[in-house]
Amino acid sequence: MRHHLAGRRFFAYTLRRVPSAGDAADVVAETYTIAWRGLEQIPVGDAALLWLHGVAENVVAMMPQVVNGVHNSRSRSHIKCQR
């Protein structure tokens, strides 16, 4: 049950940083893929969740819709790019 709750909280964390639930699911999937590939680098205990959050922040930062300013995570609002 604890892992399920942590997973839901992690998804909610990513959802606050991207425009849609689909994008949040992509961030979670990419974050867990990175974690799986670098399993030996993940700290133990509560530090593991902090590590995952850091990886997720990096994944979000590399998303085209975030890089282009479609979503501003500080205000949690959706902003359309002006061309």
Tens of pLDDT, residues 24-82 = 999 999 999 999 999 888 898 889 888 999 999 999 999 876 655 555 444 444 434 44
For residue 37, the model assigns a pLDDT of: 94
User: Which candidate, 51, 34, 33, 32, places its Cα nearest to that of 42?
Assistant: 51
Angle at 8 between CA 43 and CA 26, to 5 degrees: 80
CATH topology of domain 2-78: Rna Polymerase Sigma Factor; Chain: A (1.10.1740)
Q: Report pLDDT for 83.
A: 35
What's at 66, amino acid-wise?
Answer: V
Contacts of 53 (CB under 8 A, 6+ apart): 10, 13
Which parts of the chain are beta strand (E)?
71-72, 77-78
Residue 13 has pLDDT above 80, yes or no: yes
Domain ranges of the chain: 2-78
